[in-house]
Structure 1
């Protein structure tokens, strides 16, 4: 195999997502293989530069690419003493005085972003930021005018094509002046990088026509993944093993509540469906997680749980199955229904359906007579009624032949009961195939440390805590507290509120965002420079997804290899030739020979 190593350099390179993607790329044409080497980058943010060096392994030069006029317009003041404008010589030094084969430019996009209002985007501050696009291209062309860069990738937000049209027209003129063929397009980073996010971007590609006569093609398009394919490979949010970037963001209480009521796959507009009266939800009530034993009923021969200050039916097993009522006594038969031929119980002062047997099965119902086979269940040892043409809700049978106490999924068989029939798919999810085994030896005797150690103990708010030990944990002593402080609407906290669909609606952690951007694999560890989640998220959001950059680098490597062999096009199984909607980025001008 003949190996070629091409060089790449980045303007406004951020934490190095694009450079990392180029380093992963590999292209092959015949017996020739191309890889990429990063020779440096430039960014104004020192923290991003340190991240670049960590992720890419190459020095990133901290440099302000503004002109003096742009600096003043953006910052609203003159630059500090010692500040100077960057020159073409500065650019060459940042690249180690080497000439790159490809330059990747990802200028700041805030001024053209749809998140910024049209009026604000026209202010001098954001116009100066947009002008960095033109400034970067000019500095690049001047830095290597004697040995032009072969390929250029200029990436930004799609709205730059409208808000920055005057700048793009000037960039086209500059590139053509220096001998480049140029084309503008858009792409979805998620589709070309096989990501779990949709990230639509503006893309300008250029090739130096004298050095690269071969066409440049679009990367192959793939189906977007679901976020669960990435997040499912990661530890649960807040797991310390994943580092500080995987902590759950602290949000206002009202924000957590709003998130819980947003339908999955929707946004804030879901909240318009809720009925709000006097500032409160009319149809919903937020309650704590149900405790174990909620609405629990003790058997007559079982001991009760610990009697607490608020022992009630809805907060534990604080009801009992009392067998002492006389059999069939009407006064113990709440919601009891008498048969038509039975005697009524004594008439007392309270005689509503919920207070005894004060309802009757009256056969004299109004309306047409109903078929007597409707919803009829025939005992196993009795004869069926006449077979008629009716179907659906007619006769049913009480079939005793299925052994076992239950058909329910995840049912637990009591120790002294028979198991269900053992079948080939006997698992805990298909019937009563679990058992309440009394033999684990959890019965506690006097002198047992577990009995007196306060395990899973909860301290009252007004009580003192025990001595704090080195191994203090919720399960080895009284290390939990009954906290009465319900959060106010604007209090920031981490909450788990089960949403209407039974899931936890929560924000992505910073680490999850980095993984969705393909900066690292979910199984890897990442810790960016600094301690601020906000700063981390900004740098992650500004990054070019490495997997998308890899896809771009691989088609560019193919183009450079074709240029070396003298080929101007290549037949392949890529969408360019297979699917008519995938069009080659033939960046030749009209009338230019291929």
Structure 2
């Protein structure tokens, strides 16, 4: 075999997911075999570059790619005195003054994404951020204008084709001017990399027609995995062996309770099904788990056998009660019975006491003066109670069930809130891991079947805690840990250890969510390596069962022009 080196370079490289994936790329044509080598990467975040240097195996460069006008628009102030605009020469230097065969750019997608509202995305600040897409391509082309890279890629969210259409319409002719055929494609990183998340992305593929005449084929697709396929291979959250990135977030107790009542596969809207009376759940009671008293007040069906009879066989020590079908109602068996206010009483006997029959009544009148409306919520179509000087949510029915939630359902602007407190089933596929992935802004919790005991006593609703509540479906509804998100993103094998730069979970999650999944990048690198080996061997055609990439019917990238799916 003859080994051919394929060099790749990354702009807006982030923590290095794309570079790590390209390093693992595999391609072979005849006696030619590809070996991928990363020349470096550029990003404005020092922490991301520190991660990049470890994951990609080569030093990255901290560099701000804004021009001066874009810097002012984004930061709202002039740059510091020692700041200067990046030049094509700076880009060449960041690549070690070597020429790459593939340049992969993944500019910030925040303003193109549905995570940001349409109106906010149009502000000067975020328009400046969007313009990095065009500036990154221009810097790349000028850096190697005398010997262009064989492939130039631009990766982003699919919505760039709408919100960033005016930028793409400038980028495409710019690439064509330098001799590239251009195609706008969309793909699912989960299918390309065999992940347990569905992550739809946009990829603009530019192939230099003179240097690479062969067709570029699509990577092979794999079925999406289940969340449990990945998380089931990892230690339980909180296990010290997995490191600080695998800790369970400390949430308020009331948030844990909410998550426990969210149906797996649903979100906060599950809570609407619960009956709340006087500010409390009417049909459920949460008590601490106590393994010394398993099956507390357990009742055995009439047609089943009992467990071993112990020396303390009492109702409160185990399953020592029975569902007896031979029931004959009488005052004796009506002990502690409570009659409705509208019912007639039974016969008054000489033992008319609460423990001797149905001699208690559900009195709707409130002689005690207790505020039964505490934390009550008034329906939208009901009248309010009298407004008093202490009209707060803790004094009566001074909250309202307002139907005007503000969610723009169907328009895509409600990404962060529509799945509020969403819980994913263990056997489902996760959504795309975003930079803002947290338990309260999307489906970033999981119904974990590996439950354990809860706390010995119930904390105050606002008390921060890390607890396990066994939900109605018998699982533990909990947020994904940061390490689990990294594993779903393909950044680390479930059995492996990972610790990113810094000590902040939110910063870790942002860099993880912005990363290109390495397995997907590996698949892309493989087909590009195959096309390069074909070109270098003098071949122009390869019999391949996979469809030609970004073709509606049978249009190959060898055709000069723009192809859009």
TM-score by length of 2: 0.72
SS at match of 1:140: helix
- Tell me if the contact between 2:217 and 2:546 (Cα under 8 Å) persists in the aligned partners: no
What is the deviation of 1:568?
2.5
2:519 is aligned, of 533, 547, 556, to: 547
Partner residue in 2 for 1:101:
101
SS at match of 1:10: strand
What is the deviation of 1:173?
1.4
What is the deviation of 1:32?
1.4
After the TM superposition, which residues 9-408 of structure 1 pair with which residues of structure 2 at under 5 Å, given as runs?
Answer: 9-291=9-291, 292-293=293-294, 294-295=296-297, 313-314=315-316, 316=317
TM-aligned CA distance change 1:69 to 1:243, over 3 Å: same
- Tell me if the contact between 1:237 and 1:247 (Cα under 8 Å) persists in the aligned partners: yes
What is the deviation of 1:567?
2.4
Alignment partner of 1:487 is 2:460: yes
Distance in 1 between residues matched to 2:207 and 2:319, nearest whole Å: 78
TM-aligned CA distance change 1:540 to 1:219, over 3 Å: same
SS at match of 1:506: strand
Partner residue in 1 for 2:497:
525
Distance in 1 between residues matched to 2:562 and 2:244, nearest whole Å: 57
The structure that has the greater radius of gyration is: 1
Deviations along 1:546-577, one digit per CA (max 9) or x if unpaired, are 00000000000001011112222311233559
Which runs of 5 or more structure 2 residues have no equivalent in the other structure? 300-305, 323-328, 335-348, 358-453
Distance in 2 between residues matched to 1:519 and 1:528, nearest whole Å: 11
What is the deviation of 1:290?
4.7
TM-aligned CA distance change 1:319 to 1:231, over 3 Å: closer
Partner residue in 2 for 1:507:
479
Distance in 1 between residues matched to 2:283 and 2:8, nearest whole Å: 59
Distance in 2 between residues matched to 1:559 and 1:229, nearest whole Å: 33
- Tell me if the contact between 2:20 and 2:518 (Cα under 8 Å) persists in the aligned partners: yes
Distance in 1 between residues matched to 2:132 and 2:183, nearest whole Å: 20
- Tell me if the contact between 1:11 and 1:104 (Cα under 8 Å) persists in the aligned partners: yes
Deviations along 1:505-543, one digit per CA (max 9) or x if unpaired, are 111100011111111111111111011001100000000
SS at match of 2:48: helix
Deviations along 1:178-227, one digit per CA (max 9) or x if unpaired, are 11110101000001111000000011000111111111122112211101
Deviations along 1:345-374, one digit per CA (max 9) or x if unpaired, are xxx96699x989xxxxxxxxxxxxxxxxxx
Distance in 1 between residues matched to 2:544 and 2:85, nearest whole Å: 46
Q: Mean alpha-carbon deviation: is it higher for 493-502 or for 535-544?
A: 493-502
- Tell me if the contact between 2:8 and 2:103 (Cα under 8 Å) persists in the aligned partners: yes
TM-aligned CA distance change 1:355 to 1:24, over 3 Å: same
SS at match of 1:26: coil
TM-aligned CA distance change 1:487 to 1:563, over 3 Å: same
- Tell me if the contact between 2:189 and 2:195 (Cα under 8 Å) persists in the aligned partners: yes
- Tell me if the contact between 1:183 and 1:587 (Cα under 8 Å) persists in the aligned partners: no
Deviations along 1:129-165, one digit per CA (max 9) or x if unpaired, are 0000001000000000011010011100111110011
TM-aligned CA distance change 1:174 to 1:165, over 3 Å: same
After the TM superposition, which residues 385-534 of structure 1 pair with which residues of structure 2 at under 5 Å, given as runs?
Answer: 486-489=459-462, 491-534=463-506
Alignment partner of 1:569 is 2:541: yes
CA RMSD of aligned residues (A): 3.3
What is the deviation of 1:278?
4.2
- Tell me if the contact between 2:249 and 2:466 (Cα under 8 Å) persists in the aligned partners: yes
- Tell me if the contact between 2:195 and 2:488 (Cα under 8 Å) persists in the aligned partners: yes
TM-aligned CA distance change 1:303 to 1:281, over 3 Å: closer
Distance in 2 between residues matched to 1:239 and 1:526, nearest whole Å: 14
- Tell me if the contact between 1:182 and 1:588 (Cα under 8 Å) persists in the aligned partners: no
What is the deviation of 1:497?
1.2
What is the deviation of 1:238?
0.5
- Tell me if the contact between 2:216 and 2:548 (Cα under 8 Å) persists in the aligned partners: no
TM-score by length of 1: 0.68
TM-aligned CA distance change 1:300 to 1:6, over 3 Å: closer
Partner residue in 1 for 2:420:
none
Distance in 2 between residues matched to 1:98 and 1:60, nearest whole Å: 14
- Tell me if the contact between 1:300 and 1:320 (Cα under 8 Å) persists in the aligned partners: no
Partner residue in 2 for 1:414:
none
- Tell me if the contact between 1:205 and 1:587 (Cα under 8 Å) persists in the aligned partners: no
- Tell me if the contact between 1:296 and 1:313 (Cα under 8 Å) persists in the aligned partners: yes
TM-aligned CA distance change 1:219 to 1:320, over 3 Å: closer
What is the deviation of 1:55?
1.1
- Tell me if the contact between 1:239 and 1:247 (Cα under 8 Å) persists in the aligned partners: yes
What is the deviation of 1:269?
2.5
- Tell me if the contact between 1:15 and 1:55 (Cα under 8 Å) persists in the aligned partners: yes
TM-aligned CA distance change 1:583 to 1:487, over 3 Å: farther
Distance in 2 between residues matched to 1:155 and 1:89, nearest whole Å: 23
Which runs of 5 or more structure 1 residues have no equivalent in the other structure? 306-311, 322-329, 336-347, 357-479
- Tell me if the contact between 1:111 and 1:126 (Cα under 8 Å) persists in the aligned partners: yes
Distance in 1 between residues matched to 2:50 and 2:556, nearest whole Å: 35
Deviations along 1:83-130, one digit per CA (max 9) or x if unpaired, are 000001100000000000000000010011101000000011110100
Equivalences, count? 438
